[in-house]
Amino acid sequence: MGINERKLKEKELRIKQIRDSAAALFYKKGYEATTIEDIAKLAEISKGTIYLYFKSKIDLYYSLVEPSLDVLSKKLSKIAGMKKISPEFKIKKVTDATYEFYVKDPDAYHLISRYEASVFSNLLSPKKLDHLKHLMSSNLYQLEIIVSEGIKMGLFQKLNPKMTAIVFWNTFMGIIQFQENRLEKGKVDYRRSTINSAMKLIIRGIRK
């Protein structure tokens, strides 16, 4: 490994170290209560080192949330646009994709689930804020599209697609939160099975 390659590897590892520490603290303490000093201490580096890679705390936060939201948004959009599969199966695929995203990167999932636009409206540039809002609403909108498709095909009852999508989304997030609390108390992990059962119940309830 050459010198330049080694330096690049060290830089990537350092950035990952900072991002992992920041994500853990943002989730545990919240954005406002977390300081750059806290992140530096957990990452076992100096504050100055963090500022070599990130201009500010909000810049660091954005670097964690935006890529994750973008990946999830593209996955769900692709599922919603699939042909030759039923709306019910699309809902299952959306659920599976979101759960896989959660398992792969729980810190990113938690940051997204706790995102509060009011906190960041004065911290992010209008362009970045609008972009985050678009990505956040996009995930819900994909479910709304799928529900609307099911209604038009005569498979689902004539319900409000947006409200129905919100029920799906909030049920998913609520189960994750509840089951995580159970896990902390040494209980059996029922996250996946509970989510699957809940989605089946909702689908059964909206069928025509």
Running DSSP on this structure, what letter comes out for residue 155?
S
Domain boundaries along the sequence of the chain: 1-54, 57-206
Give DSSP secondary structure letters for 160-175: -HHHHHHHHHHHHHHH
pLDDT at 146: 97
- Distance, in Å, from the CA atom of 193 to the CA atom of 81, rounded to the nearest integer, reads 26
Query: What is the number of H-type helices and E-type strands within the chain?
Result: 10, 0
Residues β-bridged to residue 207: 156
- In angstroms, the CA 139 to CA 98 distance is 10
pLDDT at res. 105: 84
Asked whether the domain spanning 57-206 has the same topology as the one spanning 1-54, the reply is no
Q: Distance of CA 194 to CAs 129, 173, 187, 204, 205, Å?
A: 34, 12, 14, 15, 17
Q: What is the 3-state secondary structure (H, E, C) of 84-147?
A: CCCHHHHHHHHHHHHHHHHHHCHHHHHHHHCCCHHHHCCCCCHHHHHHHHHHHHHHHHHHHHHH
Taking only the tens of pLDDT, the chain with its 208 residues reads: 677 777 788 888 999 999 999 998 998 888 889 999 999 999 999 999 999 999 999 999 999 989 888 999 999 999 999 998 999 999 999 999 999 999 988 888 888 877 666 667 788 888 988 998 888 889 899 999 999 999 999 999 999 999 999 999 999 999 988 888 777 666 677 889 999 999 999 999 999 9
Looking at domain 1-54, its CATH superfamily turns out to be Homeodomain-like (1.10.10.60)
Nearest 5 degrees, angle CA 58-CA 177-CA 15?
30
Q: Domain 57-206 is in which class?
A: mainly alpha
Which residue, 14, 22, 25, is CA-closest to 56? 22
**Would you report the helix, strand and coil content of the chain in percent, each value rounded to 5?**
80, 0, 20
Give me the pLDDT at residue 110, please: 84
